[in-house]
Amino acid sequence: MGRIVLEQVAKRFGDAEVIPALDLEIEDGEFAVFVGPSGCGKSTLLRLIAGLEDVSGGRILIDDADATQMAPARRGLAMVFQSYALYPHMTVRKNIAFPLRMAGLDKAEIERRVQSAAAALNLTDYLDRRPGQLSGGQRQRVAIGRAIVREPAAFLFDEPLSNLDAALRVGMRLEISELHKRLRTTMIYVTHDQVEAMTMADKIVVLQAGRIEQAGSPLELYRAPRNRFVAGFIGSPR
């Protein structure tokens, strides 16, 4: 569960062709990182996969099913936003439980999943607090908890750490990598930070102007960047 295939995926906004035609395969359990300069289409690509935008052409397959025919909620994916997307008036418990209450799960199952996510994220002691009473890192963990409880086929992260200070970013980066090792769930992670890409990814997808410049393991891209753009982005000596 969690293989994502893009076939000739295109996206236009009016006259602007943001993604011309993109092919990509992300294997089940893979940690894929999309990197590229601001405006290259990283968020758009993630939103297309999540179903928050409709494709202008092509198909997105999730475990061989055509996701472009499915409503976002049916795709089995969980998008993690920056920590400020939490509900400030709700406790941590309610924030984490929110998607499950929307989905109509029964109370006992919701509590079981919330406890399990809180334990995985070291949030057990904070369940009755509100986001304003938490540190930036804790808030980010709550945002991740809200995704974990849905037990998704894949997690989609859009620059989740960009609001955190440098020291916290390093800690959260390690925590997300640990989480991936533990869950072995497919993760797609968008960043413009080369260090995050190089240290977290199984596969890095380097984007420029809606096209894939190169996709491969960090080592492959470092050793054999296909062009100067990739080399420049990855920081390899070519």
Q: Which residues bind ligand ADP (CB under 6 A)?
A: 13, 16, 18, 36, 38-44
- Number of residues located near Mg ion, criterion CB under 5 A: 1
The tokens describing 115, both together, are 């406890």
Binding partner selected for residue 91 from Mg ion, ligand ADP, none, CB under the kind-specific 5 to 8 Å limit: none
Number of residues written out for the chain: 238
Task: Phi first, then psi: give them for residue 102, nearest 5 degrees.
Answer: -60, -35
Q: Which stretch binds Mg ion (CB under 5 A): 38-46, 64-72, 178-186, 219-227?
A: 38-46
By CB under 5 A, the residues from 149 to 188 that bind Mg ion are none
Closest residue to bound Mg ion by CB? 43
Binding partner selected for residue 18 from Mg ion, ligand ADP, none, CB under the kind-specific 5 to 8 Å limit: ligand ADP
Least spacing, CB of residue 163 vs ligand ADP, in Å = 15
Least spacing, CB of residue 40 vs Mg ion, in Å = 9
The CA distance from 11 to 45, in Å, is 9
**Nearest Cα to Cα of residue 74 among 87, 82, 63:** 63
Nearer to ligand ADP, 16 or 166 (CB): 16
Least spacing, CB of residue 80 vs Mg ion, in Å = 13
The tokens describing 17, both together, are 């062709």
Cα dihedral angle (139, 80, 148, 34), rounded to 10 degrees?
A: -130
Nearer to Mg ion, 38 or 69 (CB): 38
Nearer to ligand ADP, 38 or 69 (CB): 38
Contacts 24+ apart (CB under 8 A), 169-174: 169/193, 169/196, 171/137, 172/137, 172/140, 172/141, 173/199, 173/200
Cα dihedral angle (152, 127, 173, 6), rounded to 10 degrees?
A: 20
Torsion sign over Cα 95, 172, 166, 47: negative
Nearer to ligand ADP, 43 or 177 (CB): 43
Nearer to Mg ion, 43 or 177 (CB): 43
Map residues 41-60 to x or -, x wherever contact with Mg ion holds by CB under 5 A. Answer: --x-----------------
